C-alpha cells in the first residue's frame, strides 16, 4: 500500500496546478479506477460585497479584496435593472481610478477586468466561469486520492465536491491571480477528516 500512496501523491502534485486544458491521464496503479467527481456551487460572495465577486476582481487587478472594497466605497452603484447614466459611469470610473491608480491599475486594465466579470444579477446570471474537472481515485471501493484534470476558473468560494457512489468529505483549494482564464481555479481536491 505505501507504494500506491507514493505514486498517487506524485501524480496529484503533477496535476495540482490551475490547468486550462485537460491533462493527459497518467497510468494508474493496478486496481485503481477513476471516478469523475461532481462540482457544485463555488460562487458565493462576501456579504459585504453585494453579490460582486470581489475576490476575483481584486486578484485580477493585483490588489487585496480590502483595497478593492475601499476603492468601491467611493462608487455609487446604479439601479441594476436600469444601469448607470453616462455621467454616473464617468464619476464612478474616476472614483475607482483615483483610489486604485496608486497600485498601478490603468483605465484599460480596470475596463478589461470589469468587462470580464460583468453580469446581471437581476437575471440570475453569474460572472464568467469555467467548471473544473477532477477524478476520485478509487481502490477496493474506497477513495484513496484525487486528481485535478482541469482547474476551471471563476470560483469565488470553494465548490462542493461529491463522488458518485461514495461518502467522503472533500476539501477544495482555490488559486487567485491576475490571469483571467485561470483566476479562481481549483488547484487541489483532498479528502478531509
Domain span at 81: 49-123
pLDDT digits (tens, 9 = 90+) for 126-164: 999 999 999 999 999 999 999 999 999 999 999 999 999
Range 77-100 average pLDDT: 83
The reply to whether 8 and 35 lie within a common domain is yes
Of 104, 123, 142, the residue at which a domain comes to its end is 123
pLDDT digits (tens, 9 = 90+) for 24-53: 567 888 889 999 999 999 999 999 998 899
Helix (H) or strand (E) holding 176: none
* Alpha-carbon gap, residue 74 to 91, rounded angstroms: 9
The reply to whether 115 and 56 lie within a common domain is yes
The chain-wide mean pLDDT, for the chain, equals: 85
The reply to whether 58 and 118 lie within a common domain is yes
Question: What pLDDT, on the 0 to 100 scale, is given for residue 47?
Answer: 94
The reply to whether 70 and 107 lie within a common domain is yes
What residue has cell string 496503479? Answer: 29
Amino acid at each position: 500500500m505505501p507504494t500506491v500512496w507514493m505514486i498517487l501523491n506524485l501524480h496529484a502534485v503533477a496535476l495540482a496546478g490551475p490547468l486550462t486544458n485537460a491533462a493527459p491521464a497518467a497510468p494508474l496503479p493496478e486496481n485503481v479506477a477513476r471516478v469523475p467527481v461532481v462540482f457544485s456551487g463555488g460562487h458565493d460572495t462576501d456579504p459585504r460585497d453585494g453579490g460582486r465577486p470581489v475576490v476575483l476582481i481584486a486578484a485580477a487587478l493585483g490588489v487585496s479584496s480590502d483595497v478593492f472594497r475601499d476603492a468601491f466605497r467611493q462608487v455609487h452603484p446604479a439601479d441594476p435593472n436600469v444601469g448607470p447614466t453616462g455621467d454616473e459611469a464617468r464619476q464612478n470610473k474616476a472614483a475607482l481610478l483615483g483610489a486604485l491608480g496608486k497600485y498601478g491599475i490603468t483605465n484599460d486594465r480596470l475596463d478589461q477586468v470589469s468587462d470580464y466579470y460583468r453580469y446581471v444579477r437581476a437575471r440570475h446570471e453569474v460572472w464568467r466561469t469555467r467548471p473544473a474537472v477532477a477524478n476520485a481515485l478509487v481502490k477496493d471501493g474506497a477513495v484513496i486520492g484525487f486528481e485535478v484534470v482541469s482547474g476551471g476558473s471563476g470560483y469565488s468560494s470553494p465548490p462542493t465536491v461529491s463522488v458518485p457512489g461514495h461518502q467522503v468529505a472533500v476539501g477544495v483549494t482555490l488559486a487567485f491571480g491576475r490571469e483571467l482564464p485561470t483566476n479562481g481555479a481549483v488547484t487541489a481536491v483532498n479528502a478531509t477528516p
